[in-house]
Amino acid sequence: MSERVVAVIPARGGSKGIPGKNIKPFLGLPLVAHSIRAALAAGTVSEVVVSSDDDAILKTAEDHGATSLKRPPEIAGDEASSESALLHAIAAYQGCADADTLVMLQCTSPLTTAGEIDLVVRARAAQAADTAFSVVDVHAFLWEIAPDGSGIGVNHDASRPRQRRQDRPKQFRETGAIYALRKAGFGEAGQRFFGRSVPVVLPDAPEIDLDTPRDWIALEAYAKAAGRTPD
């Protein structure tokens, strides 16, 4: 690809669920280092930028080959969006301003691979999309609970006989791991979904997000059992 693709990894210092999460060792490496290594290994990515308000995270990012970008405190609190970090990166760092495509990666998906990043980036270009994003197949029966406590089927009709998985329409869950965004359009829209958005299915992506200590234990155990440990 001839276009300039910059991966931006938002990594705030504060974390209530898992204190110090973004530099806590996961499989022997600081959590943020996994996303950095995957992005640096991706053939489509020109540069990797870590946006953080935390000096320890920024130092860790530099130690693992990323460009560090100090984020202002006003866009680093619990209510701050990942989009605000990307918009700041465009405004504050010329490398992001010059990008054709921005790839937003989440630290909480440490098993993301370089190949998956390339797949999403290339899908955006090949399909002339504004946004391409990673998804996985889901087969769950989802419910809402009415005010009276009754269950309401969201993606199925509970009054009909239970359908087999193969008879149901295919549905997909956004993983939150990878978003490839056309930089110019994102800068105008200020949100990750704008214009034409295309889901990109990742067949081997684990469906565990690192939000709680239990998630951490489960994902590390899965990675070890599956042989997905860093070199």
Lowest mean pLDDT among 154-168, 184-198, 213-227: 154-168
Q: Residue 166: which residues within 8 A CB-CB, separation 6 or more? A: none
Does a structural domain hold residue 10? yes
Band of the pLDDT at 201, cuts 50, 70, 90? very high
Which of the residue ranges 25-34, 117-126, 156-165, 182-191 would you say has the lowest mean pLDDT? 156-165
Is the predicted pLDDT of residue 192 greater than 90, yes or no? Answer: yes
Tell me which residues are annotated as active site: 160
Least-confidence region, from 20-34, 136-150, 201-215 = 201-215
- Residue 199 sits in which domain range? 5-135+173-224
If one counts the domains in the chain, the total is: 1
Nearest 5 degrees, angle CA 136-CA 141-CA 146?
125
Residue 187, domain CATH? 3.90.550.10
- Predicted confidence (pLDDT) per residue in 38-62, tens digit: 999 999 999 999 999 999 999 999 9
pLDDT, position 43: 96
Beta strands (DSSP E) in 23-147 are: 25-26, 29-30, 47-52, 67-70, 101-105, 131-138, 143-145
Q: What is the model's pLDDT at position 209?
A: 80
Q: Is residue 140 part of a domain?
A: no
- Asked if residue 12 is part of any domain, the answer here is yes
